[in-house]
Amino acid sequence: MDLALDIGSWILLTLGGVSVLIGGIGALRMPDLYSRMHAASVTDSMGAILIILGVMLQAGLSLATIKLAAILLFLLFTSPTASNALASAALLAGNKPRAEVPDTPETSQ
């Protein structure tokens, strides 16, 4: 049982490390601001989920797990808010995306 937990958390942590790294590479390689934000979003959501889940498996049922869950929830609530603030501030400042911005709302569905 312990071994299974260890293996599971090892896999999660490694995958988390890989996705964090991919996001970092993407943030460096991508050609413009908005594409970079997509890459950063890989580290912010995917990396954070995997790493914190991996550490949670190590912590087991304890106060540390609750704290880790709180950290993960907080990160998942705030990181889209921060990216949103960043994107809309950049858009307002005239930082144009490399695609045309539609004026009229298209109907969904």
Partner 1 sequence: MIKRILLLAVLLVLAWLLWSGLYKPLLLGLGVFSCLLTLYVVRRMGYFDNEVFALRYNLRLVGFWGWLGREIVKSSIEVAQIVLRPSLKVEPKVVALGADDLEPLDQALLGNSITLTPGTLTLDVHEGRILVHSLTAAGADAVLEGEMKRRVSALRQG
Partner 2 sequence: MYYVVTIATFLTMALALIRAILGPSVYDRVLAVNMFGTKTVLLLSVIAFLYGRPDFLDLALAYALINFIGVLAVLEFFRARVARREAENREGA
Which residues of the chain form contacts with partner 1 (CB under 8 A)?
19, 22-23, 25-26, 29-32, 34-35, 37-39, 41-42, 45-46, 49, 63, 66-67, 76-77, 79-81, 83-84, 87-88, 91, 97-102, 104-109
| Whole-angstrom distance, CA of residue 107 vs CA of residue 109 | 7
- Contacts of residue 83, defined as CB under 8 A and 6 or more positions apart, other chains included, come to 37, 40, 41, 44
The residue among 82 and 100 lying less far from partner 2, judged by its C-beta, is 82
The residue among 52 and 105 lying less far from partner 2, judged by its C-beta, is 52
> Residue 5 binds which entry of partner 1, partner 2, none, with Cβ cut-offs from 5 to 8 Å by kind?
none
| Whole-angstrom distance, CA of residue 70 vs CA of residue 76 | 10
Residue 101 touches partner 2, criterion: CB under 8 A = no
Binding track over 17-56 against partner 2, x by CB under 8 A: xx-xx-xxx-xx----x--xx--x--xx--xx--xx-xx-
27: amino acid identity, one letter: A
Looking at 11-64, which runs of residues are DSSP E strands? none
The answer to whether the CB of 78 falls within 8 A of the CB of 29 is no
Residue 67 touches partner 2, criterion: CB under 8 A = yes
